[in-house]
């Protein structure tokens, strides 16, 4: 065996061996000292509705009533928008000590598509044409003032989102009572987002950016207090119950006001709103409950990863585990500020105080016990089965691969 091959082998053996310590942890998981973990995942989101202020399922955007200049109702435009995100997330973690792990997450939006699907509901009788406006009538009229019918939109191909920096400290390791008496681990996690994402294009009717506000997945400065409870006896190596309490801040940002250069009938706001406006989205807070189950320990083979020792292989992560989670998130009131209070309120009323309920399931497969230095997982996040209020209802499918390594 060459020197290079010997080095690689020792590196992977050490990393996999150390990871066995925290293989069954949940919210309080940290990496062993000196160990890296590369996690590559891809997520596909489906978003076509929101929960309104009454807790009812509603289209993503409110209907738009269009009136004749100085006259009656021409009709109502209702966008039945369907938004899809494809996101690649690269997460690198490193264990500074057994109790302290730092991480950097780099999300890249591979593609965003929006199927606008504008529906038309006829309005009042129009005497000068002897009937109601049809959809064709309306867009012919709109075309006469330079407004074409908005179409579907796609973009954000390979566009960086906000880079996330994080640290988790499992401080219960310094108090024997937590582990020996309460069979509990407690950790504090802090995450911060760098403003590397792209803001929404201001002149598009249907478009989205790649910031944390656009993805609506987490805040820009996040504080999480977590605990994992184990159960002595037959379930000690099979079950972990976790609780996670969090508060996440979204900061105020400034945006360009649409001028109507592309959509003069629908987006000419700058003359009365001002060239710039600010948006404070409001903060997130809530709690998550997680149930971690070991479904299959798997064979413990004497392979190169366990230094050809079956007893060591027994301490590597179980082959098949499942995590079931429920999360409640409270959403604070958004605050838009411009030169027009009316315009501000038209946007704020879509983002009044509310909440969202999220169900989460993940299945993980570890191949370490059979000599392969890989861990694989697939999962599903759902926000449509349980109702919410003033929140988007996104469903997300995801999968990923994890590779441990140790270089010194």
Q: Which of helix, strand or coil describes residue 143?
A: helix
- 8 pLDDT tier (thresholds 50, 70, 90): very low
Asked if pLDDT for residue 56 goes beyond 70, the answer is: yes
Strand partners, 40: 90, 401
Asked if pLDDT for residue 383 goes beyond 90, the answer is: yes
Domain ranges in the chain are 3-61+89-115+152-406
- Whether 393 and 384 have beta carbons less than 8 Å apart is answered as yes
Overall fold of domain 3-61+89-115+152-406: Porin (2.40.160)
Q: Could you list the beta-strand ranges (E) of 80-194.
A: 82-97, 100-115, 118-122, 125-126, 131-132, 153-155, 159-160, 164-169, 184-193
- 217 pLDDT tier (thresholds 50, 70, 90): confident
What are 18-46's pLDDT values in tens digits?
Answer: 343 333 448 999 998 998 999 999 999 99
Provide mean pLDDT across the span 374-400: 95
Q: Which of helix, strand or coil describes residue 200?
A: coil
* Global pTM value: 0.89
Residue 6 confidence (pLDDT): 31
Express as a percent the part of the chain with pLDDT over 70.
94
Kind of pairing between the strands at 131-132 and 125-126: antiparallel
Express as a percent the part of the chain with pLDDT over 90.
65
Range in 14-28, 171-185, 299-313 with the lowest mean pLDDT: 14-28
Q: Which of 265, 206, 272, 205 is nearest to 67 (CA)?
A: 265
Alpha helices by DSSP H, 20-159? 135-144
């Amino acid at each position: 065996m060459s020197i290079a091959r010997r080095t690689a082998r020792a590196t992977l053996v050490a990393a996999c061996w150390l990871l066995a310590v925290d293989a069954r942890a949940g919210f309080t998981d940290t990496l062993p000292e000196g160990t890296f973990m590369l996690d590559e995942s891809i997520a596909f989101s489906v978003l076509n509705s929101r929960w309104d202020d009454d807790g009812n399922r509603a289209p993503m955007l409110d209907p738009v009533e269009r009136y004749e200049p100085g006259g009656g109702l021409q009709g109502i435009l209702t966008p039945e928008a369907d938004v899809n995100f494809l996101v690649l997330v690269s997460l690198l973690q490193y264990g500074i000590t057994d109790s302290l792990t730092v991480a950097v997450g780099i999300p890249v939006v591979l593609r965003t598509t929006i199927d606008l699907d504008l529906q038309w509901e006829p309005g009042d009788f129009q005497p000068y044409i002897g009937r109601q406006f049809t959809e064709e009538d309306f867009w012919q009229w709109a075309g006469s003032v330079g407004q074409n019918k908005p179409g579907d939109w796609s973009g954000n191909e390979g566009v960086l989102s906000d880079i996330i920096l994080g640290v988790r400290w499992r401080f219960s390791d310094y108090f024997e009572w937590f582990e020996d008496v309460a069979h509990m681990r407690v950790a504090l996690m802090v995450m911060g987002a760098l403003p590397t994402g792209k803001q929404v294009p201001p002149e598009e009717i249907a478009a989205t950016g790649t910031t944390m506000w656009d993805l609506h997945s987490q805040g820009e400065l996040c504080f999480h207090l977590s605990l994992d409870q184990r159960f002595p006896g037959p379930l000690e190596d099979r079950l972990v119950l976790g609780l996670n309490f969090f508060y996440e801040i979204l900061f105020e940002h400034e945006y360009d006001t649409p001028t109507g250069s592309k959509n003069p009938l629908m987006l000419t706001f700058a003359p009365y709103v001002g060239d710039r406006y600010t948006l404070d989205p409001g903060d997130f807070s809530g709690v998550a409950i997680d149930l971690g189950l070991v479904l299959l320990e798997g064979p413990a083979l004497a392979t190169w990863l366990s230094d050809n020792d079956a007893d060591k292989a027994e301490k590597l992560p179980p082959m098949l585990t499942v995590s079931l989670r429920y999360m409640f998130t409270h959403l604070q009131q958004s605050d838009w500020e411009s030169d027009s209070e009316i315009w501000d309120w038209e946007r704020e009323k879509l983002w009044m105080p509310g909440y969202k309920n999220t169900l989460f399931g993940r299945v993980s497969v570890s191949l370490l016990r059979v000599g392969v230095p890989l861990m694989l997982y697939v999962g599903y996040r759902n926000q449509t089965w349980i109702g919410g209020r003033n929140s988007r209802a996104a469903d997300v499918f995801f999968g990923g691969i994890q590779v441990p390594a140790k270089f010194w």
